[in-house]
Amino acid sequence: LVEALDADYIDLVAVCDRNPEKTGIQSLPMVNLDGLSEMADDAYDMVLIANEKKDIAAQIQADLIARGIPKEKIQWWDPKLC
């Protein structure tokens, strides 16, 4: 996530977390899961799951899909491959 904040080609619009106080990110708006699912579909291009563990990322993805986030907009990259 820190790399994404510094990238010129990525425009982060918000951070979504179940425990936003734990993120330590203060430079971006925080939205909860309901807020994310209520955002207009064209308000963002991608939801990046910033979690190192594949099984937890899969659970997060399933939760996002259940809340109406299109699967094709959800991304997770194995940090071992990056």
Residue 6 reports pLDDT greater than 70: no
Q: What is the pLDDT of residue 13?
A: 76
Could you tell me which residue, 39 or 55, shows the higher pLDDT? 55
Q: Has this prediction a pTM greater than 0.85?
A: no
Share of the chain above pLDDT 90, in %: 21
> Which residues, 6 or more positions from 30, have their beta carbon under 8 angstroms from its beta carbon?
14, 15, 16, 17, 20, 23
Mean pLDDT taken over the chain = 80
Q: For every residue of 21-43, which 3-state class applies, written as one string?
A: HHCCCCCCCEECHHHHHHCCHHH
Q: What is the pLDDT of residue 32?
A: 79
Residue 44 reports pLDDT greater than 70: yes
Q: What are phi and psi of 6, to 5 degrees?
A: -90, -10
